[in-house]
Amino acid sequence: MRINDSHSRKTDNLVKVVFRLQESDFHSHATESLWARPNGGNRFRLENIPFYAYGVSYHDVVSTVIEEALPFFQGVLERGGHSTYRIFLPEAISEEKFEEYWNGLGSLGCTYERGTDYLIAVDVPPEVDIYTAYEALERGVNAGVWDFEEGHCGHPLK
The 10s digit of each residue's pLDDT in 118-147 is 999 999 999 999 999 999 999 999 999 999
Residues 53 and 32 sit within 8 Å (Cβ to Cβ): yes
Lowest mean pLDDT among 3-12, 21-30, 78-87, 88-97: 3-12
Inter-axis angle of helices 95-106 and 130-142, nearest 10:
160
Whether the pLDDT of residue 9 is over 60: the answer is: no
Average pLDDT over residues 22-48: 88
4: number of Cβ within 10 Å: 16
Q: What is the Cα–Cα distance from 129 to 109, expressed in whole angstroms? A: 10
41: number of Cβ within 10 Å: 8
CATH homologous superfamily for the domain 83-152? Peptidase S8 propeptide/proteinase inhibitor I9 (3.30.70.80)
Beta bridge partners of 85: 122, 150
Task: Write the CB contacts of 55 (distance below 8 Å, at least 6 apart in sequence).
Answer: 76, 151, 152
Give 100's DSSP letter.
H
What is the value of pTM for the model shown? 0.88
Confidence of residue 11 (pLDDT cuts 50, 70, 90): low
Give 6's DSSP letter.
T
Domains in the chain: boundaries: 15-78, 83-152
Query: What does the pLDDT look like over 54-107, one tens digit per residue?
Result: 999 999 999 999 998 999 999 999 999 999 999 999 988 999 999 999 999 999
Give 117's DSSP letter.
S
